[in-house]
Structure 1
């Protein structure tokens, strides 16, 4: 089959964390014998398609718009620089043009309901699967009701199926729709976590662990990974690590980095801030940890939790999205209340298990 994947997030290199799960899915489809064409941001609309170096039957067509679409997401990038929104229309025009040039195709997959499915794939006749992620569901739920209902209804009317990365996302969108439309959405939907493609980072993990100061190497190591913004509650993780007398490595960057570093100093935490890293390096730090802590309050299906478990690292988390449901099936995930005492107690319990 000839498949089209239209996405607003796709890695431009192995080090880019953007949309790595979209690439993993596209590669998996190509390995099954399909001819896969991905239309994604980046490059220029005049660029010719490139072949994936690992799977030659996967073709990547860049449509520009890289200033807006990329890590850590279009909304965050637009807030930082509103002029980036000027890239939205050129990207939309280029993506539609690239899609028309690729066609006809047997099936289309739209990662992100808005704008990949609506409006970019409206008007194409191929069967359409729409993949909803946490960010675009939050965007839809924040829209005026009329626009939200239009986006869902027009897709259902053309026979689209929906795949949500988290049950919590499907539930949130259904709750924001009138009952008849919510029922139609439920019938057309399934929940399936995104595809993970993890490199072997075991050797690098040992090197990173050995690079820590002598005291930190002997301590149990906590890792927190994500954007340093209020919703991630990294402040709670730092305070919990300090209370448990455990070292912590913070992977990621964001507007609160300075404030969090000051908090670590004030609490006497043995904290190392390594900043925004290439994906392989971030995964190596997770693999080096004795426990990953994920205290975020605004998540659907946090990839970092699934990555940690795939790497064999236990997770202490706060309930958000599908995390509590995962914990019921996986004893390696412990869900606790979002406060320092509960987090530090869970860290000490995890450390005792690791000893």
Structure 2
């Protein structure tokens, strides 16, 4: 069997955290015996295909938009990057022509990978993975446009895999009843697969570097530093939770400068509580440490080193970082987003806090 996977996010190296769940999904397909070709954003249409283990990776361009820290953030920073959609689409179609006939097509993200790009393979079974940003984009679109996209994929007999039940419910709830029912019948909910490399030794070393005394605790936030991740709530919560708690922020993004200034001055705004004087520095003894972007294994080691993972994000589906933390045995304090509340019902290692810095701080005092 030959399969093609089309995605806007795929790692450029073993340690790149971007799109690792797409790679894991494609590798699982390859382990079933399929010959798997991945068409991914980035690089150039002129680049020759490359090998990534069992996978053949074809780059299709479009990296000006479809790259870290995400298309929405990059478009907000420079709207001209939206022009990259056209060359990416052309690159995908050319790669599909080069690869030739396939027995199975897989899209990661409804837009633009399933619709309109994989509609170019009208007779190939189509599997569509919805991860979150694609559903939110559809929900912001005019109702007629949203219905047209879903209708086109349903007519194509696409099978939908939603990362979270909340995503499917939100999209179905925005459609006419008959179309919503058809979508539900053509879909299932399945969080993305992920691989977890061994990090215990490195995690122990990082913990020794930060936690110096028996009364000290370590909280970690690991995410892109963009507004919806609300890292400012974590910083304010650490300040309010009391002494002995350190915070490591793993990741980077357009909000980093503002977050470092917030941590340095120890207040969020004129109405914020003042107190502990959080300091932003690379010194391991600081109350808040920003690591910047790290290789995936190192980022996972920081999570493994923590007493708790803080996840104050407002927009999520099935956040992989929470599942990674739980796989590493690390408790999680999160705000209500996506399927997190449903997970917490069956996992007492996940605590859903009030959607405020004070709510997070109260939860932190209990760890």
Q: TM-score, normalised by structure 2?
A: 0.90
Q: Is the 8 A contact 1:327 1:333 kept in 2?
A: yes
Residue 134 of structure 1 aligns with which residue? 132
1:1-355, aligned counterparts within 5 Å? Answer: 1-52=1-52, 54-55=53-54, 58-124=55-121, 125-212=123-210, 214=212, 219-244=216-241, 245=243, 246-265=245-264, 266=266, 267-269=276-278, 270-350=287-367
CA RMSD of the aligned region, Å?
1.6
Aligned residues: 346
2:73·2:226 contact (CA, 8 Å) conserved in 1?
Answer: no
CA distance in 1, matches of 2:38, 2:149: 23
What residue ranges of structure 2 are gaps of 5+ in the alignment? 267-275, 279-286
Following TM superposition, by how much is the alpha carbon of 1:218 offset from its aligned partner in structure 2, in angstroms? 5.6
Displacement over 3 Å in runs of 4+? none
Q: For residue 214 of structure 1, report the CA deviation from its aligned partner.
A: 3.8
What residue is the counterpart of 1:353 in the other structure? none
Deviation, structure 1 residue 232: 1.9
| Cα 1:259–1:50 shift into 2, 3 Å | closer
Query: Once the two structures are superposed, what CA deviation does each residue of 1:27-53 show, in whole Å capped at 9, x if it has no partner?
Result: 11112211111111122112221111x
Give the 3-state SS of the residue equivalent to 2:118 in structure 1. Answer: coil
Residues in 2 aligned to 1:90 and 1:236: alpha-carbon distance in whole angstroms = 39
The answer as to whether partners of 1:287 and 1:313 remain within 8 angstroms in 2 is: yes
Indicate the SS of the match to 2:65.
Answer: coil
* Aligned mates of 2:194, 2:87 — CA distance in 1: 31
Structure 1: stretches of 5+ with no match in the other structure: 351-355
Would you say the 8 A contact 1:17–1:71 is kept in 2? Answer: no
1-structure distance, mates of 2:79, 2:18: 20
Deviation by residue 1:171-200 (Cα, 9 ceiling, x = unmatched): 111111111111111110100000111111
Q: Between 129-138 and 268-277, report the one with greater CA deviation.
A: 268-277
Question: Shift of residue 112 of structure 1?
Answer: 0.5
